[in-house]
Amino acid sequence: MQIATSTGDIARSDADVIVVNLFEGVTTPGGATGAVDAALNGAIRRLIELGDVRGKAGELTLIHTHGQLPAPRVLIAGLGKQADFDLDAVRNLSANIVRFLRRPGIGRVATIVHGAGIGGLAPEGAAQAVAEGAVLGSYRFLKHRSSNGDDRSEIATLEVVELDAAAAAAFEPAVRRGEVLGLATNAARDMANEPSNHLTPTMLAERAQAVAAAAPALSIQVLEGADMEAKGMGSMLSVAKGSAQPPKMIRIDYRGRGGEGFDLAIVGKGITFDTGGISIKPAANMEAMKADMTGAATVIAAMQAIAALAPAVDVVAIAPCTENMPGGNATKPGDVVTAMNGTTIEILNTDAEGRLVLADGLCWAVELGARRIVDVATLTGAATTSFGDVCYGIMTNDDALASQLENAAARSGEKTWRLPMFKEYDDYVKSEVADIKNSGNRGAGTIVGAKFLERFVARTPWVHLDIANVDMMDKERGWVSKGASGYSVRTLINLALSLE
Ligand code: BES
Ligand code: MN
Ligand code: ZN
């Protein structure tokens, strides 16, 4: 989908459909909707009188213009109650509109910026949300389905039309920003949706190479098994041992400031398939574990957008990538391994592998001089028990960084909730035979994962995002797509931008 900004009267657009809007309770539409209504001799007012158009949130009404306008169709989007209308609503509405208009004969769509006029929202924020939502809503993962004609049609062009030339000029960079954020999210979705036979650690590293090659501001390094061995990454390697696929530890650098170390490290769990290893998972729903590399996809895709938006910060992404398989050489329960920082780990459950690969990824971030670390991982099934799919848990050793992360999430339309890191939970990872063990047996599964990870960040301000309950969704909803949802990608980007 191409997105363009233009100055003009939307009523004069000859797009296949023009999109206008209506707040609930409005009987005489104003602004662009009023102009379109006038050109249609009051057709919209008549529909309001009849009760067919009410402006309710989610209401989408397609009418035909019968030659009264250059465009053959008008879509009237209900905005709901003005008091409830915010940038999240704009983003979700824009995504829903793009899905609604996915039909034969509709290639060019012209839209006004919802909320920018009488809506009273920050105009540029609203323009960004329109573009972001449109890109996010246009996402589908169809590459493994044989072509079947019409159901693949997609909007080719979205024109954001604004009457005022100065306002239109300000919309241009905002629209581009929304597009960059949306495209990065879709790139992460593409990786997470990919089956594990189409996305091995080697192939994931190739995707990261492609992202880095496309942006001059990025550089990439991929550690092979021998390199990891040399660096003492015994925790990561203990997971890779059971697989025939070679592991990859991906590092992407973005230098926007050119300082020492890094302002931010983002570290993502990259298990391209999690069978559980010797502590093998039950067969039911195991296919969902193809998405256990969502954290890695998230940090790789975030770097794509950070490079495009070019903030004056230095960011490094680290993604430890491997399969977790029960091969003949696999780690066995009771085995003890040593991470890069010298911490010894008793592996009681080989299915708690995410924290094992992240341990060495976090150690590397510390070694590289990260002043802040955020890790993102599909770490625990317990996250679903705690939160369903409404919000995701964050855990931290630093309130200030956690607040910045929370604000970035809020700007992305994502809800987060902090889980406690009381020192009493330290006991939950104490081992009889090593420094720590990789799984607890006293509940609080999501917190235990964080308590384990905390041992590898030294004193660096750090936030852990456990996205295991939101990475895959069973239905689409506003900006959220079915399958890989794209959760946390824009949050990491917005966090990096906020550190400038
Ligand atoms: N990848 C899983 C967590 C997961 C479960 C993600 C369901 C998405 C949906 C993780 O590696 C895992 O298996 N965690 C275990 C940890 C336990 C053994 C301590 C879990 O949550 O059961
Ligand atoms: Mn597991
Ligand atoms: Zn896992």
Taking only the tens place, the pLDDT of each residue in 410-442 is 999 999 999 999 999 999 999 999 999 999 999
Residue 117 belongs to domain spanning = 2-185
- Read off the pLDDT of residues 176-192 as tens digits, 9 standing for 90 and up: 999 999 999 999 999 99
Query: Which of 54, 281, 477, 482 does the annotation list as catalytic?
Result: 281
| Predicted local distance difference test score (pLDDT) of residue 247 | 99
Q: Give the whole-number percent of the chain exceeding pLDDT 70.
A: 99
212 and 278 share one domain: yes
135 and 211 share one domain: no
Residues with CB under 6 A from ligand 1: 274, 288, 292, 349, 351-354, 378-382, 439, 445, 468
Q: Are 124 and 174 in contact (CB under 8 A)?
A: yes
| Predicted local distance difference test score (pLDDT) of residue 148 | 63
Global confidence as pTM = 0.98
236 and 310 share one domain: yes
55 and 179 share one domain: yes
Closest residue CA from atom 17 of ligand 1 = 352
47 and 177 share one domain: yes
| Predicted local distance difference test score (pLDDT) of residue 120 | 86
Q: 3-class DSSP state for residue 427? A: helix
201 and 181 share one domain: no
18 and 164 share one domain: yes
- 183-218 as b/e: b if 16+ CB within 10 A: bbbbbbbbbbbbebeebbbebbbebbeebbeebeeb
End-of-domain residue from the set 185, 203, 219: 185
Please count the other Cβ atoms lying within 10 Å of the Cβ belonging to residue 150. 9
Number of domains in the chain: 2
Give the sheet arrangement for strand 336-338, strand by strand.
336-338, 344-346, 436-437
We report the CATH number of the domain holding residue 236 as 3.40.630.10
**Closest ligand 1 atom number to CA of residue 354:** 11
206 and 150 share one domain: no
End-of-domain residue from the set 185, 205, 231: 185
End-of-domain residue from the set 119, 150, 185: 185
| Predicted local distance difference test score (pLDDT) of residue 118 | 79
Query: Which of 45, 108, 140, 355 does the annotation list as catalytic?
Result: 355
